[in-house]
Amino acid sequence: MKNLYLKYSTVNETTFLRHIAYDSVIFGFSGEKLKILIMKYHNTGLYALPGGFMQRDKNLNDAVRRGLKERTGLENIYLEQFYTFGDVARYKPEIMQMILEANGHHSEPYQWMLDRFISVAYYALINYNDVVPTPDALSDSCDWYDMDKLPNLMLDHAEIVAKALQTLRENLERKLVGTNLLPPLFTLTELQKVYEAILGEKLHRGTFQRKILGLGLLQRHEKQFLGKAHKAPFLYSFGD
Amino acid sequence: MKNLYLKYSTVNETTFLRHIAYDSVIFGFSGEKLKILIMKYHNTGLYALPGGFMQRDKNLNDAVRRGLKERTGLENIYLEQFYTFGDVARYKPEIMQMILEANGHHSEPYQWMLDRFISVAYYALINYNDVVPTPDALSDSCDWYDMDKLPNLMLDHAEIVAKALQTLRENLERKLVGTNLLPPLFTLTELQKVYEAILGEKLHRGTFQRKILGLGLLQRHEKQFLGKAHKAPFLYSFGD
DNA sequence: TTATTATTGTCGCATTTTGAGACAATAATA
DNA sequence: TATTATTGTCTCAAAATGCGACAATAATAA
């Protein structure tokens, strides 16, 4: 039975499943701003989300994790699948053609990339400072962009980003995911800034602290002395 | 460029995208119980969710809607995509082989179905009484089953059902989706029974009515006289 | 006709949660 | 030693929620 597809396939086609791609919206937090990682393709002026194709012998989720590790260097990332985009309108072979040609890939083994794809979209939350953004073979750069200063993204990637943010906001109320964007030790004010950046609104300090501490999910540690002329805040970590 | 895939394909392969399927968890409500539609394949004893493959020329969401219409006869169904299942473990070609053989399909044009698939899963909410469940060409039956009396489902379909119910519960608090399981006119007690069936717990009547009416989404109509020896309730409809 | 029954619409009250301001405590600086 | 900026915590009012209660009412039984 295994020969069924081998019969029609080149090496590349058997490595990956046709028609299936993934894209990831990788959130980071720095300077009180929410940011995401954006790639720029060689010689095309095209900006895109980090993504990839799906290996035939891997779980979908694992394929995405592997891609994330290549782009960020990190493992054990907080990762959530949020939607699968499957409109016909996202089938624009001329764009992939442009990318391939800009990289000198004219030959057969790459032609399957020109077919129609659906994309399973994930968002990831990472500690900004831990990351070394790394471009892939087709890209010049992989860089952080403020959520409110994104370049024009190719295909439907702007829509993917919008839906990622919407889902993150909804999940923020149900899960304590804000901590995933911070270092292991953080102050409540820092955590509040993360929530404000995600929700896009100011929160009341007293109410926020009462609510977060009331969940009983944070552990209090020593104080953080930064040499500023005011009371030093406690540091917290996530986990009992 | 279009010839790229035609070159390798039979008619069936070009009609559908390889490796991509969908499954739908179709919820209905009757007799105070939450139910879903389950199909039984010919001569195999296999039970499965209604699903299908993805047409090359259709949006993913539209392909699912078309499948839903074939199974239920309904259009304009409340439909929500909730997860895409892509584990390697769900690749069990011998099962699809069994189904095909039970239907006398041994020939080439069906062999692509034996390859690995990911499945995009949706749940639908419909008015139980409007539906005429209709089996597809491979199935003996398409019938309602109580959520707590499901047969053994093939592949990972039990997991898909569990995640559908979990997502429905989460969404129930944010959207007023309960109404989609009822006829256009319903009483508040009927709506409360729907919520109780989905959440799996009893709700307090006064609190429930205050909360639902407080949303300002229901319109009150005439009373419903059922000939019972007690006060007649008002009927409501969804919408301004 | 009148009492009974079951269920409805609504109210009241206690409890809990939330929003917003206030104040003392406290690191560092002037 | 006073000043500054920020923190931890408290209080109080307002809003939301949980829960029981009661009168209203449609049909039936007496």
Nearest-Å Rg of the Cα atoms of chain A is 21
Show residues of chain B in contact with A86, CB under 8 Å.
20, 54, 59-61, 63, 120
- How do the residues of chain B divide into helix, strand and coil, expressed in percent and rounded to 5? 40, 30, 35
Q: Interhelix angle for A188-199 vs A205-214, to 10°?
A: 100
B191 touches strand C (CB under 7 A): no
Structure tokens at A74: 């990190």
A8 touches strand C (CB under 7 A): no
Show residues of chain A in contact with B121, CB under 8 Å.
none
* Alpha-carbon distance B127 to nearest alpha carbon in chain A (angstroms): 26
Q: Compute the count of residue pairs across chains A and B with CB atoms less than 8 Å apart.
A: 82
Residue-level pLDDT at B25: 98
- Average pLDDT of the residues of chain B: 90
Task: With 0.85 as the threshold, say if the pTM is over it.
Answer: yes
Euclidean distance between CA atoms B71 and B53, whole angstroms: 14
How does pLDDT run along chain A (240 residues), one tens digit per residue?
333 333 333 445 568 999 999 999 999 999 899 999 999 998 899 999 999 999 999 999 999 999 999 999 999 999 999 999 999 999 999 998 888 888 887 777 788 889 999 999 999 999 999 999 999 888 889 999 999 999 999 999 999 999 999 999 999 988 777 889 999 999 999 999 999 999 999 999 999 999 999 999 999 999 998 888 889 999 999 986
- Look at B84 and A60 and tell me if their CB atoms are within 8 Å: yes
CA angle A197, A203, A208 (to 5 degrees): 110
B225 touches chain A (CB under 8 A): no
Euclidean distance between CA atoms A131 and A69, whole angstroms: 10
Specify the nucleotide whose C1' lies closest to residue B229 (CA). Answer: D27
Nucleotides of C under 7 A from a protein CB: 4-12, 18-22, 25-29
B170 touches chain A (CB under 8 A): yes
B39 touches chain A (CB under 8 A): no
**Per-residue pLDDT for B63 more than 80?**
yes
Provide the strand spans (E) within chain B. 16-30, 33-41, 47-48, 51-55, 78-85, 118-125, 139-146, 218-223, 234-238
Residue-level pLDDT at A177: 75
Q: Which chain B residue has its CA at the smallest distance from A174's CA?
A: B170
Grade residue B7 by pLDDT with cuts at 50, 70 and 90: very low
Nucleotides of D under 7 A from a protein CB: 3-11, 17-21, 24-28
CA angle A20, A22, A28 (to 5 degrees): 180
Protein CA at B206 to nucleotide C1' at D15, angstroms? 18
A163 touches chain B (CB under 8 A): no
Say if residues B130 and B74 touch (Cβ distance below 8 Å): yes
B230 touches chain A (CB under 8 A): no
